[in-house]
Copies of this chain bind each other. A is one copy, B any other.
């Protein structure tokens, strides 16, 4: 823990004291960063087994992730309308932080590096597959933190073959002989959620757009707040049905996700149906 050396040109004594204490603050801040990192790791290690438990429960709830994704305004920015019917067959979304597997804590990796696993079940529209994409935090020279990732293979739905950028490139001599129509399809394919799996963060303008934002949306928001979003989505659905069978649905007896905090208020499914059928966004909880 060594302080940096500075040429202090001002000979004024007050200024020296100020300078000395600002240096101390600078050292303090580095120490505090370490504390924050330690807390991060502690939290991730406690939370990961909890999320592993949740994962096995969620697999038994039909269309759990689809119900969330279809209702999520932000997510819709990252998927094309054509993607939607395939997303229905997602039966697992899982975020894993490799740091939790690392007992020694000596890894040089950033503890916030994470892997996202998305699984599709076999259906008439999709093949069974489980795809894991890893994201690493890289720090630029100016101190900015960015995500990078390696492309991973994903089986596109048969029906989307015609816009699959990879296939289009193959068919057109690496893209050299693309027709106007090919280019149009290529661009459409680039906007598909399935192109996100090839995102690297290193080819801006030439790959899935805002892949980093989507990774962060899934890891920091959708995955963490999944239960809250699910309740809100269900209550929206119920709200739409209310006109015909209000009495029945407002009971909500089959569901008791009590004590779920949405927008700072705790509410149950029953509350949602009665009071807030239109609330779509859930405030992400932030700790200090």
Contact = CB atoms under 8 A, between A and B. Distances in A.
Contacts of A39: 39, 42-43, 46-47, 287
Interface stretch (A73-81, A165-173, A199-207, A264-272): A264-272
Interface residues on A, range: 35 or more
A145 B261 CA distance: 10
A14 B61 CA distance: 10
Interface in A105-140: none
Interface in A252-273: 253-261, 264-267
Interface stretch (A5-13, A82-90, A183-191): A5-13
Given A25-B227, A143-B266, A266-B144, A254 B8 contact: yes
Interface stretch (A49-57, A150-158, A235-243): A49-57
Contact of A22 (B43, B61, B220, B221): B61
B18 A254 contact: yes
Interface of A: 4, 6-10, 14-15, 17-19, 21-26, 28-33, 35-36, 38-40, 42-43, 46-47, 50, 53-54, 57-58, 60-62, 142-145, 219-221, 224, 227, 253-261, 264-267, 284-288
B254 A19 contact: yes
Q: Which of A4, A29, A220, A258 has the most CB of B within 10 A?
A: A29
Contact of A54 (B6, B28, B60): B28
Nearest to A33: B259
A23 B60 contact: no
A60 B265 contact: no
Contact of A57 (B25, B46, B219): B25
